[in-house]
């Protein structure tokens, strides 16, 4: 039997009206652009379009064949979450304690060099977002805003200062004194850079501090005019730790940093700094024990974002063993390869007190200045909350190794 034809009719206005949901027009182009970014990867894509190639590659790249960075990110991708269902996750608390003080979120903004090179608002923009979001921010020795300016920009933020040990120890002592006087609560001693890693993207791009006006960069300026206008019409770069520099990043590091530093030098640092001391760049269990024995308050398991030794240990892989070895004596933090709130939660489940993010907020900065950094923090926060709820936990302290399986 043949099926009768369906009856059709023209829709009435009363039926169409509920389906027409117009969104208000966003007039601010930066906010309009950032609202479309749903992940840190989206911010990275925006940053790549808006920033000169040499500057983007300095941020995005790593050492030599970039194996260390790829391996770190791959481990986060390959791990497996183990959720516990039928749990009350209606009331969520993402706060945690870092270095004896509460933070609203279980991540910190890691120190990054030359931040105003990436976008002219620079370190002050990051510090203000850290203040609003109640997460710590570490200013780098190679920052492009002075210790005092960052302190003034975000007076209530939890500010940490990152130090490389210089050949000129008097200069290092002066930096520590300035940081203490400006209210920085912790010192981050980075120990994985006795010499500069071979960052081949920078060498191929001819990346220099400040950017040189060559034929290549002038052609690049034609496609990124806003970046160049902002660089040339805002105050010259002011370094946190030196007045000026003209050359490559590798030359700067090899000129200033002391390759003869040993574990004994931690006593010198301790004699100059009364507050919490964090040692960043730990890549073995034995070194974690050594710095714990030497009086550090915390370690950061880090291979410098893959920017120093290629084929270095993956910090996340190392994390459970270090926590077992020293976690009852000092705090264990972790960085490298963290691109989502789910990555943060995985690190916490494996024993980290906190995860440190660097590139993630820098992509936001390059994509949209302070608004972009805030968007990165918002994305990470939402992902942390959602992942915790889907795992069936209400607090950071409820996360355990049972929630994560490493490949």
Mark out the alpha helices in 80-121 (DSSP H runs).
Answer: 115-118
In sequence order, what are the beta bridge partners of 209? Answer: 247
243 is catalytic: no
Tokens of 13: 């206005």
Residue 282 has phi, psi (to 5 degrees) of -75, 135
DSSP per residue, 120-132: TTHHHHHHHHHHH
From 120, 224, 243, 304, the catalytic residue: 304
Tokens of 395: 């607090």
Element (H, E) at 59: helix 53-60
From residue 86, give the alpha-carbon distance in Å to each of 93, 211, 345, 397: 18, 56, 19, 18
Burial class (CB in 10 A: 0-12, 13-18, 19+), 241: buried
Answer whether 184's CB lies under 8 Å from 141's CB: no
Burial class (CB in 10 A: 0-12, 13-18, 19+), 209: buried
From residue 136, give the alpha-carbon distance in Å to each of 38, 69, 397: 24, 24, 19
How far is it, in rounded angstroms, from Cα 303 to Cα 178? 28
Tokens of 271: 């004699």
Tokens of 336: 């490298």
> Residue 333 in 3-state DSSP?
strand
How far is it, in rounded angstroms, from Cα 68 to Cα 301? 13
Residue 352 has phi, psi (to 5 degrees) of -70, 140
How far is it, in rounded angstroms, from Cα 345 to Cα 316? 12
How far is it, in rounded angstroms, from Cα 53 to Cα 70? 20
How far is it, in rounded angstroms, from Cα 396 to Cα 51? 36
> Residue 10 in 3-state DSSP?
coil
Element (H, E) at 109: strand 107-109
Active site amino acids: 304
């Amino acid at each position: 039997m043949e099926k009768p034809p369906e009856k059709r009719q023209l829709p009435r206005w009363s039926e169409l009206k509920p389906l027409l949901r117009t969104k208000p027009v966003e007039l601010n182009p930066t906010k309009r652009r950032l609202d479309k970014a749903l992940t840190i990867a989206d911010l990275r894509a925006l940053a790549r379009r808006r920033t000169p190639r040499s500057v983007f590659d300095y941020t995005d790249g790593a050492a030599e064949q970039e194996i260390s960075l790829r391996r770190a990110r791959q481990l986060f991708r390959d791990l497996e979450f183990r959720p516990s269902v039928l749990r009350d996750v209606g009331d969520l608390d993402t706060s945690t304690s870092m270095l004896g003080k509460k933070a609203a979120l279980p991540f910190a903004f890691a120190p990054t060099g030359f931040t105003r090179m990436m976008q002219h608002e620079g370190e002050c923009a990051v510090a203000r977002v850290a203040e609003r979001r109640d997460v710590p921010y570490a200013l780098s020795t190679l920052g492009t805003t002075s210790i005092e300016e960052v302190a003034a920009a975000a007076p209530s933020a939890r500010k940490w200062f990152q130090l490389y040990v210089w050949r000129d120890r008097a200069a290092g002592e002066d930096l520590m004194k300035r940081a203490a006087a400006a209210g920085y609560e912790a010192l981050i001693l980075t120990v994985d850079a006795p010499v500069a890693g071979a960052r081949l993207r920078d060498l191929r791009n001819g990346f220099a501090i400040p950017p040189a006006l060559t034929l290549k960069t002038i052609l690049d300026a034609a496609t990124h005019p806003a970046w160049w206008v902002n660089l040339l019409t805002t105050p010259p770069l002011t370094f946190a730790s030196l007045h000026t520099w003209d050359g490559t990043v590798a030359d700067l590091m090899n000129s200033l940093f002391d390759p003869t530093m040993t574990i004994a030098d931690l006593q010198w640092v301790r004699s100059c700094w009364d507050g919490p001391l964090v040692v960043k760049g730990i890549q073995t269990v034995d070194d974690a024990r050594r710095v714990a024995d030497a009086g550090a308050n915390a370690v950061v398991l880090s291979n410098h974002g893959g920017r120093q030794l290629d084929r270095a240990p993956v910090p996340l892989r190392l994390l459970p063993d270090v926590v077992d070895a020293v976690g009852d004596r000092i705090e264990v933090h972790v960085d490298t390869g963290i691109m989502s709130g789910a990555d943060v939660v995985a690190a916490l489940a494996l024993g980290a007190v906190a995860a440190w993010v660097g590139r993630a907020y820098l992509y936001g900065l390059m994509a949209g200045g302070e608004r972009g950094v805030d968007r990165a923090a918002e994305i990470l926060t939402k992902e942390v909350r959602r992942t915790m709820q889907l795992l069936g936990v209400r607090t950071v302290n409820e996360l355990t190794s049972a929630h994560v399986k490493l490949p």
